[in-house]
Amino acid sequence: MSKDMICDFCGKSVKEVEKIFSAENAHICNECIGTCSDIIHKEQLKKERAEFQKGLSIPTQIKEHLDNYVIGQEEAKKVLSVALYSHYKRIDKPIFKNVEIEKSNIMLIGPTGSGKTLLAKSLAKIMDVPFAVADATALTEAGYVGEDVESILSRLLASADFDVERAQKGIIYIDEIDKIANKSESATSGRDVSGEGVQQGLLKILEGGEVYVPVKGSRKSSSAETILFDTTHILFICGGAFVGLVKDANDSKDKKPKKMGFLTSTDEEFTSQEIESKDLINFGLIPEFIGRIPVIATLNQLSIEDLIKVLSEPKNAIVKQYQALFELDGIELEFSDDALQEIAKMADEKGVGARGLRGIIEKIMLPLQYELPAKKDIEACVITKSFINGESEVELIKRKKTKKEAN
C-alpha cells in the first residue's frame, strides 16, 4: 500500500487512519466506512419503523379515538393505546431480529359502569376487527352443564361472518373475570366448575394455540361441526370489578396509594392504587392465568361531572341518540343543564355508573316517545329537572302556523 494513498471520501492519508481499503482506483478509510454503516443503519431503522406503523394508528392517535367514545379514564386509555399498538405490530412481526415478541393480553379493573366494555369495544372499532363479549360466569369446566371456554371463540367467529382468518385477528372481551376467582378457603366442598377449572381451561386460548371450535352451539360434541382455530393473534381483554381489592391494598401498612401514569397539567389528575399481579393472585386468580395477562389497567369510579359528560359529549352519547330519534319525527329535543345533572345524580346514587344512564333516560322518555309522534304541532321538547322529578309537565314548544294554515 502506498504511503501517499488518501481516502477519496474524507481526504485523510493512510497515516491519519487505521486502514484504507482499495478497489481499482477507489480508496476509502475505515472511519468513512463506519460513518456509512451508521447512515445505512439509521435509514434501515426508519424503514422498519414505517413498515411497523403501516396501517396502524400510533398510541396518541388511538387515545384520541378513545376520547371520542369514553369519558375520563385517562390512565387506562394510555395503557390500552400502547398495548393495542404493540399487539398489532406483533402480528406482523412476531419474531424480530431473533427476539420473540410475546403476546400482551389486558386486564381492566374497575367498578360497574366505569367503561370497561366500552373501552374494549372501541378498540375493536379502531382496528376494524371482529369483536366478541363473553361472561366468565357462564363458563364451566369441561364435562359440566354450561358453556365451554371454546364457545367464546365461536362468538368471535360468528362476528367475523365465519371468516376464520379475519376472526383470528379479532378482540375478545371476557367480563366478570373476578367471579371465577378460586376462593377455596370459603368455598363449599366439591369440584369448582366455574372457578379454577375455568381459569385452567382459558390458559391455552389466552397464550395462543390451535383449538377445535364448534361452528354452532356452545359445547363441543362428537357430532358437532368444528374447525381448527389459532388464537395466537387474538387480543384478550379481561374485565372485572374485583370488589375489595383496591380497598385491601390501600389498607395495607406497607403500601401507599401511588399516582399512576405520565400526567401533565392538561391531564385528568387522580390518585389511583396500582394493582399488581400478586394482588390478583391473592384475590383468587391462579398464577398461570395472571402470567398470560401482563397488562393491567385500573379504571376509576365515574364522578357526577363525568356522568354528565357521558350523557352528552361522546360521538354516540345517549342524549345525541334520543335527539336523532326525535328529529326523525320533526321534533327538536333539548335537555336542560339541571336535567342532565339530575340524571347523573340518580345514576350515581344507584351506584351503577354510566351503565345505568340509559335505563334512567328510557324510563323518563318512554311516555314522550309514545305520545309525541301523534302530535303534529310540536316543534320542540325540553326536558327539565322538575319534569324528571314529577313536579311539572314537560315543556312543549308548538310550531308556529303558516299563513295558509291560519286561514
- Can you give the CATH number for the domain in which 109 is found? 3.40.50.300
How far apart CA 119 and CA 125 sit, in angstroms, is: 10
Q: What is the pLDDT of residue 270?
A: 35
- Distance, CA of 335 to CA of 384 (rounded, Å): 6
Q: Judge whether 131 lies within some domain.
A: yes
Does 128 share its domain with 208?
yes
* Residue 376 covered by a domain: yes
Distance CA 53, CA 85 (A): 9
342 and 204, same structural domain? no
Residues 342 and 379 in one domain: yes
Q: Are 347 and 379 in the same domain? A: yes
pLDDT of residue 222: 53
| Residue 124 domain-assigned (yes or no) | yes
Q: Contact 80/173 with Cβ under 8 angstroms?
A: no
For 230, residues 6+ apart whose C-beta sits below 8 A from its C-beta are: 168, 208, 209, 210
- Give the bridge partners for 134, in sequence order: 174
DSSP reduced 3-state for 134: strand
382-405 burial, b for 16+ CB within 10 Å, e for fewer? ebbbbbbeeeeebeeeeeeeeeee
Read off the CATH number of the domain in which 330 is found. Answer: 1.10.8.60
**Average pLDDT of each block of 10 consecutive residues along the chain (407 residues)?**
78 88 87 89 66 63 87 89 84 66 86 88 85 86 63 89 90 91 50 69 87 69 75 91 65 41 36 72 90 90 91 90 93 95 92 88 94 91 94 89 59
Are both 39 and 170 inside the same structural domain? no
Distance set, CA 2 to CA 6, 14, 277, 392 (Å): 9, 8, 67, 104
pLDDT score of 350: 87
Compute φ and ψ for 158, nearest 5 degrees.
-65, -40
Considering the domain architecture, whether residues 124 and 239 belong to the same structural domain is answered as yes
381 has binding-site annotation: no
> What span, in angstroms and rounded, lies between the C-alpha atoms of 90 and 86?
6
Q: Output the pLDDT for position 45.
A: 63
Four-residue CA torsion sign, 311, 317, 323, 325: negative
Residue 260 lies in a domain: no
Q: Are residues 282 and 332 in the same domain?
A: no
Kindly state whether residue 98 falls inside one of the protein's structural domains: yes
Between vectors from CA 147 to CA 142 and to CA 151, what angle results, nearest 5°?
100
d(CA 290, CA 98): 26
In a domain, 91, yes or no: yes
Cell 390451535 locates to: 210
Mark whether 28 and 165 lie in a shared domain.
Answer: no
Cell triple for residue 313? 359529549
Is the Cβ–Cβ distance between 168 and 229 less than 8 Å?
A: yes
Residue 32 among known ligand-binding residues: yes
In a domain, 370, yes or no: yes
Residue 29 labelled as part of a binding site: yes
| CA dist list (Å): 131 to 4, 122, 197, 202, 241 | 71, 10, 25, 18, 21
Q: Quick one: 292 and 159 in the same domain?
A: yes
- Polymer length of the chain: 407
The response to whether 10 counts as a known ligand-binding position is yes
Write down the pLDDT at residue 52. Answer: 45
Q: Are residues 72 and 137 in the same domain?
A: yes
d(CA 234, CA 247): 32
5 lies in the same domain as 108? no
Q: What is the tally of structural domains in the chain?
A: 3
Residue 7 domain boundaries: 1-52
Within a domain: residue 122? yes
Structural contact between residues 19 and 29, judged by C-beta atoms closer than 8 angstroms: yes
Same domain, 40 and 176: no
